[in-house]
Each structure stands twice: as C-alpha cells, then as structure tokens.
Amino acid sequence: MPDSLTIAKTCARSADDIQAEDIVVLDLRGLSSIADYFVICTATSVPHLKAVNRDIRAKTEEVIGEKPRSGEGDPASLWMVLDYVDVVVHIFHSGMRDVYSLEDLWSDAPRVPLDFLTPPPAKK
C-alpha cells in the first residue's frame, strides 16, 4: 500500500500528464485531520475537467494500484473532488479556483516540491 505522499505525487503527475495547470500539493499533516495532502489543479474547460478527473483515476490505479474511495461533483459544478482518504484531489475549472481559494485558506500549509511538472509556456 503506497503512502499518502506517493499517492499525492502520483495524482499530481497524472494531472500534469493531461496538461492540468497550476498544480499544487499542500502538506496538511499537523494542520488538519481532513487529509495529509491536498492536490489542487486547474482544468481549462469542461471537457478538460472530465479528462483530468478520468486520467487521475485511471493512472493512479494503473501506476500504484490506488482507487479513490469516493468522488464528488460533476463537470457542470466546475469543481470535482477525488477522495483517496489521506489525499484529497481538487480539480477546478479556471473560473472556480479563485472563488474557493484553497491555497489562501490553507496558506500555512507547506507546498510539496514537484520537480516533474511541465514548465508553463514562455510568454511572448
């Protein structure tokens, strides 16, 4: 059984593989009993939101054998959540992420370094 950090990083890598944006992993250990880690990412459209959700589920199961215990939200809500018990993945449509501002709410949570992320495209 993989540890919660491995689950979080696998979910983040899966999100990166499908080109989710602004991927952040927050370390909530010692700050909350909700979960050890939050993975937060942004999808650029409703079809992309569905694809990010699908691929995180599929690739996390394929790579480390973990399935989410539950999932909430639907594409119309513009926010989907996957619950891996100690890891909660939040997939936001770009317009909704700022509304809920989880990074601000959990601003005291350290960010986990993710050296495998695709760098954003250079600005022209």
How do residues 32-85 score in pLDDT, each as one tens digit? 999 999 999 999 999 999 999 999 999 999 999 999 999 999 888 999 999 999
In a domain, 22, yes or no: yes
Judged by DSSP in three states, 111 sits in strand
In a domain, 113, yes or no: no
Stated pTM of the model: 0.92
Q: How far from 69 is each of 1, 20, 31, 72, CA to CA, in Å? A: 14, 22, 22, 10
Total domains present in the chain: 1
Please, which pLDDT band fits residue 123 given cuts at 50, 70 and 90?
Answer: low
In a domain, 122, yes or no: no
Q: Where residue 24 sits, what CATH number does that domain have?
A: 3.30.460.10
Distance CA 47, CA 109 (A): 30
At residue 15, the pLDDT reads 97
Write out the residue range of the structural domain in which residue 54 sits. 4-105
